[in-house]
A and B are shown apart, each in its own frame.
Chain A
Amino acid sequence: MRGYSYEAPLFLPTPEIARNQPIPELLDKRLVIVTGKGGVGKTTVAVALGLRAAGEGKRTIVCEVSSQENASRMFEHASVGFHEVEMEENLWSISIDPDESMREYVLLQLKVRAMRDMLFRSRIFNYLAAATPGLKELVTIGKIWELAQLDRKVKKGRKYDLVIVDAPATGHGVGFLQTPRTFASIARVGPIHSQAQQLDRFITDQENTGTAIVALPEEMPVNETMALERDLRDEVGVAVDRVYLNGLYPERFKKPEAEKLAQLAESEDGAAKAAARAALSEYGRAKTQRTQLGRLKRGVEAPVKTLPFLFEPELDVEAARKLAGKLG
């Protein structure tokens, strides 16, 4: 077939997920789930997204589910617990405790506080609740759903434009987000069955719910991010909107410069040698990171945004503010 000549593209474009209508921008959704493995900076990114949305005038709440209060600590605020506490203008924070969520859920179902309290004093009820797999995670997601409702279920609930969830680390796979689906299959009848289904629809509703994965530019975290995106899609039915590659080093040095520095590191002693060595190791890491960035871009369907490594002693709210400007 002469006459045809084409150049194969270096990298095949990744297929777009079939979408019938344009998907709103991440921060224009009602719920954004920030996920990823431990130690990648999920909380920092969740808070940065919160700061950005709040800065745009959206009433935003950042939810933690690990009871570690990392978000409130970033604001140097006392523990917030199971309360919606204002951190800054338009920005609130809550730590969602499963036991508190359970108490609130049961109260919403029973409507009578005395009845609820009696129930929670019952040993039988507590054992059953503890022994039912996934019930804690389900009521936690239920609370997230409740926060995202314009018609709040709790009395005098504040209306939020955006709910951001700092999701648990993915050590246990996609378990947390899968809970509603799993639960709907364990409890086949009853009100909780339809509620679990409703939560599943809520999580998988691309129109209103967005998902971002935070990753690091290293081999293992990149592999795990690719696996996580696949599992979220195949096992939970969630399409990832964005991958944030966090902690990317600047490219301060070029190859010929590195060669020059290598000579200096060999020959010199003292501060010049140490400085040359530090420059070389950053050169090496920045290069390795670009390789991982390339792998990540080829390996995931969602668009990848990079976030710079912050040379800050502590990742406090000011560090998150710096990232907020680069989230786009």
Chain B
Amino acid sequence: MASVGEVLEGKSICICAGSGGVGKTTTSAAIALGMAAQGLKVCVLTIDPAKRLADSLGLDELGNEARQVDPTLFEEQGVEMEGELWAMMLDAKATFDELIARQAPDEESRDRVLDNRIYQQISSALAGSQEYMAMEKLFELHTEGDFDLLVLDTPPTRNALDFLEAPKRLTQFIEGKSLRVFMKPTGLAAKVTGRGVSVALGVFKKLVGFDLLADLAEFFNAFSSMVDGFQARARRVNKLLADPETCFLVVCGPQGEPIDEAVYFHRKLVEAKLPFGGVVVNKVHYPADELQADVEDLPSALAEKLGDPDLAKRVAANFADYQALAERDARNIDHLAGELRTSCVIRVPYLDEDVHDLTGLSQIDRYLFATAEERVEIAAGRA
């Protein structure tokens, strides 16, 4: 059962999540293309896509805003398009800056934050800020309401948790609000609040140096006027993620490690009460199950047909290797489906060519948007 089209019916947000290197960006783009082809106005948000994929979508000169993929491109590459495909590359730093500008009560507060060295590090380099800003942009586009469907390609997180907990990271800043009173240059407040605090601050200062502490204090001070706004926004982002119109798709590969990651990620989604839609397994070696019976006398059968016993031997050896991988993939996917207690496992085969243009994406869509039976047929080359 289940094609991506069915899973995403009535949804306004699709979030593709998974570990790095499993084809998340490609899957996100293919889903967006497929849904747009069916007549929706779709925007795919992606982070640093591979250059050629970006080129194929006409994304090379894009900044931090959504642009429509040129409709003539679809015609050129023989892709039917009923709706509109939009795409944007997320710039985490720019998104963070915009957010500060929006939340700041006045220009002076805004500039104090933007100019702060701690802020500059947090907004551009801190692990988790990309994740957080991806959600932020998603929320912004959803609120503006210009699209039927938003597809988010999440950043390649080291740890599945990073992504889900990104909005919670905000609490670090929020807690900072209570810090600023302790960090007045006079240090008087420290005396009032007790020895423990002053010792902690003293040791921290000794470790990292006075000027870093001063920068942190300045950051918390400058940021404090925006804390309430950020907090309210984080609550709304969390609400949106849990909304029934949102759908999380877990993307993975068929090897043991990516499968384990997918199981882990799914558990985190369930624990966080976030709506899980299904799992897409990329680069699957499809087994030729029904052919197993004939395999034993394959080398001699091939030798006869090819008139070249040596070639026949190599073809048979290659086929045996391939079948072993196919069996492994099938085992791993069975395990995955069992762990996730879902029948919505969409397998995309290991295609002969790397995917980097619209034709390649629509090739993937043949699997994503097909029923399970159709997928097997296509993979076996019979459809």
A interface residues, Cβ below 8 angstroms from B: 37-40, 66-68, 70, 106, 109-110, 115, 118-119, 122-125, 127-135, 137, 168-169, 171-172, 175, 182, 186-193, 218-220, 223-224, 252-253, 257, 260-261, 264, 268, 270-282, 284-285, 288, 311, 313-315
Instruction: Indicate if B9 sits at the interface (CB-CB under 8 A).
Output: no
Instruction: Indicate if B235 sits at the interface (CB-CB under 8 A).
Output: no
Residues of B within 8 A of A253 (CB): 311, 314-315, 318
Task: State the majority secondary structure of interface residues on B.
Answer: helix
Q: Are A37 and B21 in contact (CB under 8 A)?
A: yes
Residues of A within 8 A of B19 (CB): 38-39
Q: Are A109 and B207 in contact (CB under 8 A)?
A: yes
A257 to chain B, nearest CB (A): 5
- Once A127-B175, A219-B354 are accepted as A-B contacts, the answer to whether A134 and B125 lie under 8 Å apart by CB is yes
- Once A132-B216, A264-B306 are accepted as A-B contacts, the answer to whether A186 and B253 lie under 8 Å apart by CB is no
Between A and B, how many residue pairs show CB distances below 8 Å? 211
Q: Are B294 and A193 in contact (CB under 8 A)?
A: no
- Once A38-B19, A192-B209 are accepted as A-B contacts, the answer to whether A274 and B155 lie under 8 Å apart by CB is no
Residues of A within 8 A of B130 (CB): 172
The listed residue (A133, A168, A278) touching B158 by CB distance below 8 A is A168
Q: Are A220 and B354 in contact (CB under 8 A)?
A: yes
Q: Are A124 and B215 in contact (CB under 8 A)?
A: no
B75 to chain A, nearest CB (A): 25
Q: Are B288 and A274 in contact (CB under 8 A)?
A: yes
Q: Are A169 and B156 in contact (CB under 8 A)?
A: yes
Residues of A within 8 A of B220 (CB): 131
Q: Which residue of A lies closest to B288 (CB)?
A: A274
B326 to chain A, nearest CB (A): 9
Q: Are A223 and B50 in contact (CB under 8 A)?
A: yes
B115 to chain A, nearest CB (A): 14
Q: Are B52 and A37 in contact (CB under 8 A)?
A: no
**Bound Cα distance from A277 to B298, whole angstroms:** 14
A85 to chain B, nearest CB (A): 20
Residues of A within 8 A of B325 (CB): 311, 313
- Once A66-B158, A219-B50 are accepted as A-B contacts, the answer to whether A182 and B255 lie under 8 Å apart by CB is no
Residues of A within 8 A of B122 (CB): 133
**Bound Cα distance from A30 to B263, whole angstroms:** 37
- Once A39-B20, A220-B356, A279-B319 are accepted as A-B contacts, the answer to whether A315 and B216 lie under 8 Å apart by CB is no
Residues of B within 8 A of A284 (CB): 352-353
B164 to chain A, nearest CB (A): 16
- In chain B between 73 and 117, which residues have their CB closer than 8 angstroms to a CB of chain A? 117
Residues of A within 8 A of B22 (CB): 38-39
Q: Are A125 and B204 in contact (CB under 8 A)?
A: yes
A62 to chain B, nearest CB (A): 16
- In chain B between 238 and 271, which residues have their CB closer than 8 angstroms to a CB of chain A? 253, 255-258
